[in-house]
Amino acid sequence: MIASLPMYDWPEVREETDAWWQAIGDACQAEGIKSVPASLHRGGADGETWTDPDLLLSQTCGYPYTHGGSEHLRLVATPCYGIPGCEGAGYRSFLLCREDARQPDLREFRHSRAAINDSMSQSGYSALRAVIAPLAQGEAFFSQVITSGGHRYSMQMVGQGDADICAVDAICYALAERYVPELTAPLRIIATSPLAPALPYVTAKHTPDDLLMRLRSALMQVMTDADLANIRSALFISGAEILDDSDYQRILDIEQDAADLGYPKVI
């Protein structure tokens, strides 16, 4: 069995992420789950574990989940984050520009340079597309779209003037604001994206229902364990909800809305 928590595994919270997995693993063992990994799998691409049939638990972005990932994965639970930009098991992205940007509103960013983390990202790509689509009027909006490789790098690019705008999910923005404040210091929020279901915990597709139920029970236990309050606070986790595939249809709807406006991709 393997486990990974790649989505918010920043170096600055690596210790807390490991402690969070240790707590989840202990709760899994208490539920009678055998062969629980002692540590998280790291290395390689973020999603390399998502197609592994030995996957016990991971966290994925909703966009790849709705674009083929559900063929390999089952939803376990969706964490809630107690920070601005999040509501229940939903989250938004913040569109960021430099604090000293001369543009007073988003319309004035036509012909500017956008940084995206990845074209398969809900928070850094599809959320940006959703906000820009009504303004683009079916035409190219940006002069350049640059792939940064990660939200923190998108923020860095905008802060350093190598890009003019980016979209970053509320959780990554909170991580940067608390643990890497030099990333957010030169930035300001100019717009927010529509609400989407947050990044779910998942298990391998073939996971039996009984094991799925025990995984959910273990997760719900750690979500309310008073002894883990400091770890949850460090990771901004405030609870979890059980969502199903129909809830994640919202991500496909956001994408389709942009396409209907003649803006199927960020350009």
What single string gives the DSSP state of each residue in 12-48? GGHHHHHHHHHHHHHHHHHTT--S--SS---SS-TTT
Give the pLDDT mean for 227-250. Answer: 98
| pLDDT tens profile 123-167 | 999 999 999 999 999 999 999 999 999 999 999 999 999 999 999
Give the pLDDT mean for 178-191. Answer: 98
Strand segments (E) across 55-136 = 55-59, 73-81, 86-87, 90-91, 93-98, 113-116
**Is residue 260 one of the residues assigned to a domain?**
no
**Is residue 96 one of the residues assigned to a domain?**
yes
The pLDDT confidence band at residue 43, using thresholds 50, 70 and 90, is confident
**What's the domain count of the chain?**
2
User: Is the same domain home to 31 and 17?
Assistant: yes
**Is residue 266 one of the residues assigned to a domain?**
no
CATH of the domain at 137: 3.40.190.10
Sequence letter at residue 157: M
Among residues 195, 214, 232, the one where a domain terminates is 195
User: Is the same domain home to 56 and 14?
Assistant: yes
User: Is the same domain home to 183 and 112?
Assistant: yes
**Is residue 247 one of the residues assigned to a domain?**
yes
User: Is the same domain home to 45 and 99?
Assistant: no
**Is residue 81 one of the residues assigned to a domain?**
yes
Are the CB atoms for 171 and 81 separated by under 8 Å? yes
pTM of the model: 0.96
In 3D, which of 263, 244, 260, 255 has the Cα closest to residue 121? 255
**Is residue 35 one of the residues assigned to a domain?**
yes
User: Is the same domain home to 119 and 166?
Assistant: yes
Q: Find all residues with CB under 8 Å of 232, minimum gap 6, and list them.
A: 20, 223, 238
Give the pLDDT score at 230.
98
What is the residue range of 65's domain? 2-87+197-253
Q: Is the pLDDT of residue 46 over 70?
A: no
Among residues 195, 221, 240, the one where a domain terminates is 195
- Torsion of the alpha carbons at 10, 15, 18 and 20, rounded to the nearest 10: -90
| Average pLDDT of the chain to the nearest whole number | 97
User: Is the same domain home to 7 and 78?
Assistant: yes
| pLDDT tens profile 81-133 | 999 999 999 999 999 999 999 999 999 999 999 999 999 999 999 999 999 99
Pairing state between β 201-204 and 113-116 = unpaired
Give the pLDDT score at 48.
81
Give the whole-number percent of the chain exceeding pLDDT 90.
Answer: 97
Give the whole-number percent of the chain exceeding pLDDT 70.
Answer: 100
| pLDDT tens profile 4-20 | 999 999 999 999 999 99
User: Is the same domain home to 169 and 104?
Assistant: yes
Strand partners, 191: 95
User: Is the same domain home to 188 and 137?
Assistant: yes
Q: What's the token pair of residue 224?
A: 């309310």
Among residues 195, 213, 241, the one where a domain terminates is 195
